[in-house]
Chain A
Amino acid sequence: MKTPATLVEQFCQAATRAGALTVRCVSAEAAIAYILRHAGGSIVLPDCPAALQLNLAERLRAQGGKVICGDLFQAAPTAAAGITGANFALADTGTVVLESTAQAVRLASTLPERHFVLLNPHKILPDHMAAVPLLRRLHSRQSPDFIAFITGPSRTADIERVLTIGVHGPRELHILLLDELSDDFLEN
C-alpha cells in the first residue's frame, strides 16, 4: 500500500499545526543524525520493531549517543529523549498511533523531555474513522492492550487560558518520516 503524497502533506501540515515537528529523512543515517543532533542528553529506547529493524541502539551509541535500553523505569523520568516507532498515523489531525502495551514504550513516550517518533510515511491513513478497523484488530489481538493517539506535544491552558507546552509529557514531538521502516500497521 502506498500513501499518496497529498496525504503525507496533509499529515505534516496538521501535525505542525498541533505543534509537532515533522522531518522527512532520506535514510536511517539521516534520522539517526537528526536524533543525535536534537536529543539533548540521554536517550531511552524501548525494544520496539523500529529500533530492532534499524539496529538503533548500536548505531546511536556508535556515534556517541547515550542510549539506555531494557528496564527504563529509573532512566525515563530524567531522560532527555525517548524514541519509539509508530504503527500508523492519521492525516486529518496529524496524529501518530502507537501500540504502547509494553511499559517501556509508554515510559519512553510519556516521561522524557522530547519524543522522537519513527513513522513510515506509507502508513498514513486519511482520518480517525479509517483507523477503527485497525484499532479493533489491535484490541482483539491481545489483552491487555494500550494504544496511544498522540497529536503534538503535551500542552495545557489551565492558567489564564495561556497555551503552555510540556506540562506532564514531552515538550517536543519530532516525527521522523522514513521510508525504509516496516510497513506492518500492527507491528508490536
Chain B
Amino acid sequence: MSRRARRYRHLIDQALSDVRRQEALHRFGDAYLAARAEAFAGLDFAGLRHDIADMKDTVRNDWPAYLHKFMQQAETSGAKVFLARDAQAANAYIAELAQCHGARLAVKSKSMASEEIALNHGLEAIGVRVVETDLGEWIVQLAGQRPSHMVMPAIHMFRDQVAELFGNLTGQQESEDIAHLVEVARRTLRQEFLNADLGISGANLAVVEDGSLALVTNEGNARLVATIPPVHVVLVGIDKLVPSLEDAVRVLQVLPRSATAQAATSYVTWLRGPAPGREQQRELHIVLLDNGRSKLASSEEGRDAWRCLRCGACANVCPVYQAIGGHVFGHVYVGSIGIVLTAFLHGLEAAAELIQACIGCRSCVEVCPAHIDLEHIILGLRRRLAADEGVGTIKDLVFKRVLRNRRLFHGLLRTAARMQKPLTGNATSIRHLPLFFSSLTEWRTLPAIAPRPLRDLLAEQPTATAPRLRVALFGGCAAEFVLPDIGLALARLLRHFNIELVYPEGQSCCGIPALYAGDAATATELARQNVLALAQTQADAVITVCPTCTSALTRHFPDLLAGDPTLADCATGLAAITRDAAVLLSEQLGNASPVAPTTIAGRVTYHDSCHLRRGSEVYLQPRQVLAAAGWHLTEMAHPDRCCGFGGSYSVLGQPAIARAIAQDKLDDIIATGAEVVAADCPGCLMMLHGLVEKRGLPIRVAHSVELLASSLDDQ
C-alpha cells in the first residue's frame, strides 16, 4: 500500500471513530430523503432533469460562444468582466482590485469557487481581512477548517463547538442555545458588512441572454454583499452559464429542492450591472473562472460533470459520506461530484484516494438533478488512475494472468474449494482468518467456495420437456462457485414454468471486478469471451441471478465491444434480451400454473441491491416474487441503501468504511423483526449472511429465487 493510501486509511479510521458526527450525518440523510421527496411531489423529476442536462450540454458543446456573448452582455450592463484561466489569474485580479481600492476588509457570501482557488489566503497575504458571512462558512473559518459540505459547510460541527468558537471571538461565555448563537452571528457580522470595502460572492447562474447573474441564498447575506460595500466581485465558474432566463428559472425549480428540499430559498437576487450605492458609483466585477472547466468540457469521460449545479444532493444520499464525512470524502468539493471535480480542477493525484473510496452504489446518480452518471465518470477516472499507477500487484496478477484465462481461473477455484478445508471445516463459511487477515473476519464471516460449482450441478438436472421458451443462464462467479443453490432453485422454477435452461460452457467472470479496478483491457477480453459463449446458445433470453452481471451484460459489454467489428452487434443484441431472474419470474407468475402456496410462509424483509434498484430499475418484481412465494413483506428502513459489499471494496478496498455501511444495513434488518432477509444479488447475500452469522442472529438470508422455489416444495 502506498504512503498516500496509508495516510488516507488513517484519516478514515479517525473519521469512523467520531460516532456523534456519524449519527448526525445519518439523521441528516434520513431527514433529507423525506423532505426531498415532499419537495418534488407532483413534479416530473425525470423530465426536469432531462431538460436541465440537455440545456447544460448545449452550452458545454459551444461554451466559448456562450461565454463570449455573456461577457459582451455583462459589459453592456456596466459590469467589468475578467476571464480567469486559472486560480492564480483569478486571485491576482481580485488582489489587485482590492489594492486599487485600498481595501482593508472584505465580506464574502459563500462561494465554493473561492474555496477552489483559496481566495482568502491570497487576500490575507496582501493584508486584506476576509470575513465569511454565511453562518456555516463563518463557523468553519473561525475553526480554521474547510467546508465539509457544499451547501452546509459546518454540518460536521455541533452547537457546543460553535459556542466555544464564538466565545473565543466575543471574549465571553456564549450559551449553546442555537437562536442565541445565530443572534451573535447577526450582530457581529452586521458590523462587518457596514465596514466592508469589498464584497465578494459567487453566483449560481450566469444568464447569457442579458449578462445577468442570479444568487441564491437563505440567509440574505449575498444581498448585503451586493448592496453595501462599494465594490462587489462575483466569482463564477464558466460552467454556470445558462442561455436564457427561462433556463435559469428551470434550474431554480430543481436547485433548492435538491439542495435543501425547499421549493424556493428565501432569496434569489437577479443582478444586472452594478446596482447604485450612496454615491451612485458602485462597481461590479465579474470574474469568470475556467481553472480546468474547459478541460472538463472536452473530456470524453468527464464532460457530463459540467452539468453540475452544486446542490450537494450527491453527498446527502451517499453512504460513504455519511460514514466518514466531507473532510475525508472530499478535497474542496465533496461527495461523488467532489471526486470528479477534484480530478479535473485539482488534478488526478489529489483525487486518487477519493476515486477508490466510492463504493459505486449509484445513490447519487438517482438523485442528481442534472442527470450526471457519477458512477460512470468515477469508473473512467479509476481507469485513468490504473493507467498511471497500476491496479496493484495482486489485482494485476489476478486480472491479467488468471481472470482472462477461464480454464485456469475455474481450475484454481475448484482447487481452492478443496484446499480451504482447514479454514472452513465442513461449514459453508470462514469464521476466522489467521494472522494479518484476521481483521477481515472480525465483523463478518467470509463465504467459502462451494464443493461443486453450479455448472456441474446443473448438468445433472432434468430439463423441461417441450419447453415454451429457451433461456441461457449467466451464472456469475458468486452464484457459480459460492452460492450454487440459487442456480439450482432457478432451474427447478424454470422446469415448473416449462422453460428450457441452458448454461453456456464458455461463460466466465463478467469482468466487473477488473473494470471497477480500472483494468478495461481485462474487462474487454472477458466481455468478448462471454458474448461469444452466450451468442452460441441462440437463446430467447439471457437471465442472471446477479444484478452486477446484468449491468455488465446490458451496459458494459456493448460499451467495451463497441469498436469490435464482429462482436459489437452481438453484444447489443444480447444486452437487449438480458434480464434479472426476478423480472422473468414475475412475468411467468401470471401465465403458468400458480405457485401460490396456501399458507403464509413467514415474515420477510427485502434488501434492494444497488445494481438492481438503480442499475436496472428493478424493485417491484422481486417483491411480487416474494408475495407469490407466500411471504409477508415487512419493508426495512432504507431498503435501497447499499449493504457495504461493493465487491472487492469490502475486502481489499475500504473494509473499514464497508463495515460501517454494513452495520447500518444490519440495524435496519434487525429492526423489522423479520425471520428472513431476501435480496437478489449474491454479493449482497454473502455480505448479509456474513453479518448475520457472525452475530449469531436467527435470520435466514436468501435469494428471492430460492424462496419462490421452496414454495414449490410446500405444494
Which of B139, B182, B190, B274 is close to A164, meaning CB atoms less than 8 Å apart? Answer: B182
A-B contact sample (15 more), CB < 8 A, given A153-B266, A155-B218: A18-B263, A106-B275, A107-B227, A111-B224, A139-B210, A143-B78, A145-B275, A148-B270, A151-B265, A154-B219, A158-B152, A159-B135, A168-B189, A168-B219, A168-B224
| A150 pairs with B135, CB closer than 8 A | no
Residues of A within 8 A of B253 (CB): 128
**B28 at the binding interface (Cβ < 8 Å):** yes
**A64 at the binding interface (Cβ < 8 Å):** no
Which of A106, A110, A143 is close to B272, meaning CB atoms less than 8 Å apart? Answer: A143
A-B pairs with lowest CB-CB distance, top 8: A169-B220, A144-B273, A158-B136, A93-B264, A149-B268, A146-B275, A158-B135, A154-B220
| A103 pairs with B273, CB closer than 8 A | no
**B589 at the binding interface (Cβ < 8 Å):** no
| A132 pairs with B245, CB closer than 8 A | yes
Give 7 CB contacts A-B under 8 Å.
Answer: A73-B278, A132-B249, A152-B266, A155-B266, A159-B159, A167-B221, A170-B220
| A129 pairs with B246, CB closer than 8 A | yes
| B260 pairs with A106, CB closer than 8 A | no
**A71 at the binding interface (Cβ < 8 Å):** yes
User: Min CB distance, B266 to chain A, in Å?
Assistant: 5
Interface string of B315-342 (1 = CB under 8 A from A): 0000000000000000000000000000
User: Min CB distance, A156 to chain B, in Å?
Assistant: 5
Q: How far is the CA of A145 from the CA of B221 in the complex (A)?
A: 19
Residues of B within 8 A of A144 (CB): 77-78, 271-276, 284
| A166 pairs with B182, CB closer than 8 A | yes
Q: Could you say which interface size class chain B belongs to?
A: 35 or more
Residues in A lying within 8 Å of B, measured CB to CB: 14, 18, 71, 73, 77, 92-95, 100-103, 106-107, 110-111, 128-129, 131-132, 135-136, 139-140, 143-162, 164, 166-170
| A167 pairs with B28, CB closer than 8 A | no
Q: How far is the CA of A145 from the CA of B269 in the complex (A)?
A: 10
Residues of A within 8 A of B134 (CB): 158
| A157 pairs with B260, CB closer than 8 A | yes
User: Which B539-553 residues have C-beta < 8 A from chain A?
Assistant: none
Q: How far is the CA of A105 from the CA of B360 in the complex (A)?
A: 50
**B277 at the binding interface (Cβ < 8 Å):** yes
Interface of B is mostly: mixed
Residues of A within 8 A of B266 (CB): 18, 150-155, 169
| B267 pairs with A151, CB closer than 8 A | yes
Q: How far is the CA of A132 from the CA of B24 in the complex (A)?
A: 40
Q: How far is the CA of A162 from the CA of B177 in the complex (A)?
A: 11
Residues of A within 8 A of B162 (CB): 159
**B52 at the binding interface (Cβ < 8 Å):** no
User: Min CB distance, A185 to chain B, in Å?
Assistant: 15
Interface string of B288-328 (1 = CB under 8 A from A): 00000000000000000000000000000000000000000
**B178 at the binding interface (Cβ < 8 Å):** yes
| B185 pairs with A110, CB closer than 8 A | no
Nearest-CB residue, chain A, relative to B189: A168
Known contacts A158-B134, A168-B133; decide if A143 and B76 are in contact (CB<8 Å): yes
Interface string of B199-225 (1 = CB under 8 A from A): 000000000011010000011110110
Q: How far is the CA of A152 from the CA of B256 in the complex (A)?
A: 14
Residues of A within 8 A of B135 (CB): 156, 158-159, 167
| B277 pairs with A161, CB closer than 8 A | no
| A93 pairs with B263, CB closer than 8 A | yes
Interface string of B155-183 (1 = CB under 8 A from A): 10111001000000000000000110110
Residues of A within 8 A of B260 (CB): 157
Q: How far is the CA of A147 from the CA of B271 in the complex (A)?
A: 7
Residues of A within 8 A of B276 (CB): 101-103, 144
User: Min CB distance, A79 to chain B, in Å?
Assistant: 12
User: Min CB distance, B664 to chain A, in Å?
Assistant: 19
Residues of A within 8 A of B212 (CB): 139, 145
| B270 pairs with A135, CB closer than 8 A | yes
User: Min CB distance, B709 to chain A, in Å?
Assistant: 46
| A167 pairs with B152, CB closer than 8 A | no
User: Min CB distance, B221 to chain A, in Å?
Assistant: 5
Known contacts A110-B223, A169-B223; decide if A160 and B272 are in contact (CB<8 Å): no
Residues of A within 8 A of B139 (CB): 158-159
**B154 at the binding interface (Cβ < 8 Å):** yes
Residues of B within 8 A of A14 (CB): 263
Residues of B within 8 A of A161 (CB): 28, 31, 152, 155
| A164 pairs with B178, CB closer than 8 A | yes
Q: How far is the CA of A152 from the CA of B260 in the complex (A)?
A: 15
Nearest-CB residue, chain A, relative to B272: A145
| A71 pairs with B278, CB closer than 8 A | yes
Which of A94, A101, A167 is close to B185, meaning CB atoms less than 8 Å apart? Answer: A167
Q: How far is the CA of A156 from the CA of B110 in the complex (A)?
A: 13
User: Min CB distance, A131 to chain B, in Å?
Assistant: 7
Q: How far is the CA of A161 from the CA of B274 in the complex (A)?
A: 34
User: For A101, A152, A158, which residue has the most chain B Cβ atoms within 10 angstroms?
Assistant: A158
